């Protein structure tokens, strides 16, 4: 139960990133690249501070190439895509790409992926399609491609975190090492004329829904496994749609409710522990529960 609740909290944080980014970039409060740069700087500051309380902190590049690269790809693609995509469409494309990347990682790692989990993922995808199709404008292919690249980056970042013994330290190191990459990208694109509200939203996204959320995610992924972690992220577009309804005035109707049942039902079905002949074979380990 504790693992499930912590996973839900993390998914709410991830959905918050979509709403905050869309609110800031989509409404012209700040340009995409400055949002991404401020976001990663804010995350790095708060995470480094938390790790610093424990003692000496030395973020080194050894073994962090995939994590840092995946994080930078995600942040850049995510912010650029939300210049045109709405919150729900962007979240769907993002976590569709994440799902493919995480399942690919599970296969490459020879992780068992039962047929029931594939079926549950299919039901969840039907829910996402019901939520967003038809009735919404077709997304820009360019911006959809940027969000797909962000999803691949986030999938790589999640997979890189599976073997980390120190979730908070690893996340802080990744954020700190990604700062020069984002600062350079922002220098090329230009800072534009960000508003104070736009900067504030970027700081909130970086410090809370990104930095702290990712630290918790790094701790949860080893217990969830790559396939189950990918499935859990399917709930994020639905949560983002709920946040969009409350904060951005997006309409929520019967289709949204039916999609929610399909998505959450599919994820729950795929995540149930296996049982055989009276013996309980649980796939979630006690660490992190």
pLDDT of residue 256: 67
CB-CB contact of 199 with 30 (8 Å):
yes
pTM of the full structure: 0.77
Question: What's the rounded Cα separation, in Å, for the pair 157 and 174?
Answer: 9
pLDDT at 278 over 50: no
What does the pLDDT average to over 100-125? 73
pLDDT of residue 63: 64
Q: What is the pLDDT of residues 216-249, one digit of tens each?
A: 877 787 787 766 776 777 778 888 878 887 888 7
Closest by CA position to 183, among listed 25, 49, 34, 30? 34
Print burial letters for 76-85: b (CB count within 10 Å at least 16), e (below 16): bbbbbbbbbb
What three-state secondary structure class fits 231? Answer: helix
pLDDT of residue 274: 58
What does the pLDDT average to over 126-142? 65
CB-CB contact of 131 with 238 (8 Å):
yes
Q: Most confidently modeled of 59-73, 114-128, 138-152?
A: 138-152
Q: What is the pLDDT of residues 76-96, one digit of tens each?
A: 999 999 998 878 778 777 877
**Which of 5-14, 235-244, 269-278 comes out lowest in average pLDDT?**
269-278
Largest Cα span, the chain = 64
Q: Most confidently modeled of 83-97, 123-137, 181-195, 275-289?
A: 181-195
The verdict on whether omega for the bond into residue 262 sits within 30 degrees of 0, i.e. cis, is no
Q: What residues contact residue 162 under an 8 Å CB cut-off, 6+ apart?
A: 221, 222, 226
Scan for tokens 């995939």, then name that residue. Answer: 66
What does the pLDDT average to over 93-109? 73
């Amino acid at each position: 139960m504790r693992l499930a609740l912590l996973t839900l909290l993390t998914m709410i944080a991830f959905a918050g990133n979509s709403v905050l980014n869309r609110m800031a970039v989509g409404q012209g409060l700040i340009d995409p690249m400055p949002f991404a740069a401020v976001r990663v700087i804010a995350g790095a500051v708060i995470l480094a501070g938390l790790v610093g309380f424990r003692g000496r902190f030395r973020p080194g590049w050894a073994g962090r190439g995939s994590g840092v690269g995946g994080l930078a790809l995600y942040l850049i693609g995510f912010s650029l895509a939300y210049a045109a995509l709405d919150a729900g469409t962007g979240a769907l494309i993002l976590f569709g790409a994440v799902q493919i990347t995480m399942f690919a990682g599970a296969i490459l790692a020879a992780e068992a992926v039962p047929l029931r989990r594939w079926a549950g993922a299919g039901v969840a995808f039907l829910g996402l399609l019901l939520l967003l199709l038809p009735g919404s404008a077709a997304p820009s292919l360019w911006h959809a491609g940027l969000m797909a690249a962000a999803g691949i980056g986030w999938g790589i970042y999640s997979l890189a975190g599976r073997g980390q013994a120190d979730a908070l330290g690893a996340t802080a190191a990744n954020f700190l090492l990604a700062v020069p990459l984002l600062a350079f990208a922002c220098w090329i694109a230009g800072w534009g004329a960000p508003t104070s509200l736009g900067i504030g939203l970027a700081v909130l996204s970086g410090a809370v829904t990104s930095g702290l959320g990712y630290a918790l995610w790094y701790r949860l992924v080893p217990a969830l496994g790559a396939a189950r972690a990918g499935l859990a992220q399917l709930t994020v577009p639905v949560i983002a749609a709920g946040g969009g309804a409350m904060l951005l005035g997006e309409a929520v109707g019967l289709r949204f409710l039916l999609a929610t049942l399909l998505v959450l039902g599919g994820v729950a079905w795929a995540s149930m522990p296996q049982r055989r002949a009276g013996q309980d074979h649980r796939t979630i380990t006690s660490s992190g529960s």
